[in-house]
Chain A
Amino acid sequence: MFKKLLSILLAALMVFSFAVVFAGCGNEKSTEKGSDGLKVGFIYLHDENSTYDNNFLTAAKEACDKMGVQMVNKTNIDESDACKEAALDLVDQGCDIIFADSFGHEDFMIEAAKANPEVQFLHATGTKAHTEKLDNFHNAFASIYEGRYLAGIAAGMKINEMIESGKITKDKAKMGYVGAHPYAEVKSGYTSFYLGAKSVCPTVTMEVTFTGSWYDETLEKEAANKLISDGCVLISQHADSMGAPTACESAGVPNVSYNGSTVKACPNTFIVSSRINWAPYFEYAIKCVQDGKPIDTDWTGTVATGSVELTEVNEKAAAKGTQEAIDAAKADLESGKISVFDTANFTVKGETLKSYKADVDSDAEFKGDTEVIKDGIFEESKHRSAPYFDIDIDGISVIE
């Protein structure tokens, strides 16, 4: 009897909660804001344990403190409907700008942007803003290939040092690279890294392996160990956990890192790291909203905007003169004396690349739609902010 009563009671409760929801549907949005007026919401795929997300978290705090605006962080938001829910919840909380940091968030941000034309939606690494043509949805990236190139110089110097000291011979100069997905962003990154190393050590080759995940500590560790056992004498990575750097530290193999310094965990093997500093972009977007100006649909940060940075060189692991070589190359990049993707510096199947159509516009057909080589230079991040260099060049072998 009691059981029956309870069941009826619970069913009634459920019906009642429906009623509450329906009644509550017309609720006003809460528009409470900080004393400074603006409120910025951030959506992260993981939390501070991921080097990738931590890089965004640091920049968000820096930018919001500097601009005196309120910050709301939502971490561990999946690339699913959860992202749209999080974005809409941030709208309800009165955010004027909402930012998402992961590639897979893009479609869900677009959905949220369509529903809330008065709120600005920003998305890092995405590709669709220039084809979606929404006034309030924007992509951003940085010319990180320049940073990777400079980090590659540090790697090349280290390998030169190994050759000079007789530790390895010239033909054994092989680097390893742990990539996440065989996606243009990753390919552009490791190719520029390789070209940087090659600019100081012409005989260097590179082996690349993919984990198939942006964040998987175990897989990244295993991949790094496999590359080391394949004879790679230096490792770099484009994946977001500490897997590869820590594997290098235990094996005593030098590591060129990404997203920020890993020197604390890897004091003996960390050489240098390139990273995108997102603070300049956040500050730019906040300023635009404060001044009532439109935000660029596709924003590309550069060394000049302070978006592409190299961490301090770890003297303990790096070759002598690394910092000087990086500084010199950086000056040359800025002055336009050298270009990372100069077609004179690499070959594809033994030939110099004359023309290439990249898949710049995201559409159902994955076909090249834009000519990106001009005057012998592959113009990366010019036709949209997210990288589109996806060519397999000679000297780099991919193991599946």
Chain B
Amino acid sequence: MARGKRGLGRLVLILGLALGSAGPGATRSEPVVEPLTVLSWGGAYERAQARALFAPFTEATGIPVRVARYDGGLSALRAAVAERDPPWDVLDMTRSQAMAACDEGLLEPLPADIAAPAPDGTPAEEDFIDEAFGPCSLTHSVFATVVAYRTDAFPGRRPTRIADLFDQRRFPGPRALQRTPSVNLEWALLSYGVPRQELYRLLSTRRGLSLALERLAGLEDLRWWEAGSAPPELLIQGEVVMASGYNGRFFDAMVNRDAPIAILWDGQVQEHETWAIPRHAPHPEAARAFIRFATATERQAALTRYIPYGPSRHSAARRVATHADTGLDMRLHIPTHPLNAERAVTKDEAWYARTRERIGDYFRAALFPDDATTTD
């Protein structure tokens, strides 16, 4: 860890220079430092961020971090930017939301040199995974929506393919899926055996869409969930035997609550989670400094000691080690590990950014003909 400490020290120095202040000591001596407000997702995810990112940032810069909860939608951001007074400095949002928000002009463009180079000097553009840099956002980690199942539900067999989610003859029992078209449509069409490379091209046809919706409509005993914390609960309580959900939440349930569940990695849908800065943010300078700090190799690797999200830097992915509290090998639990990612789907966010409303309409019309309140 000595090496880590030294790296951190250097980082702090860089940050201090970037902020134009005389370093951590100087900042600390100032009487009032306005806190930086980060909008994040709560739960185990936020706890991990607090330990790996927020506390070290405050320690390094003296800037306290305040966390606000994010509901996933753009309406609050839209309203706040229209008022020219958003209460947040940094947003933790999915890339598809970031792209949509950027198109609407709700986000500050990020400077090209926002990310620090890797510890060995590799430039950031080479060290980050493909398409990590957006005009207004920077991918910091990759998370996956996966299917988890109760390990005691199917004696003598276990699901191995995403098609098993829809095979209620071999894998009987209730299911829980998120009440959104995304991910569900992908899995439904994958279950017909289409190659994942062609998924969005085929979902773009009337035929593909109706095949997928038919498959979803054919599921019996289906529960729809909306809050990310719901699927582990439903599985633990035995209300469903298979549920979709975020891999980090399932990991948390397995490790911290000994839940008898396992993850089906086949067909996992990967998404980029990004940092962004809202337009008219109160402290844009500090926000940029925070993003630079939080996306440094050291911090990304540290985050994977608390929550199994794939780092967006190759240099950080190589440093993934064990879980901080249990000593579990985290490499097996991050979505981007080669074993888990073999048949992963990368969510086509450009596609969703342009089709969200229409796809949502089709989804509602096919599965919820009676109400029109489904959010996406």
Question: Are chains A and B native binding partners rather than an unrelated pairing?
Answer: no
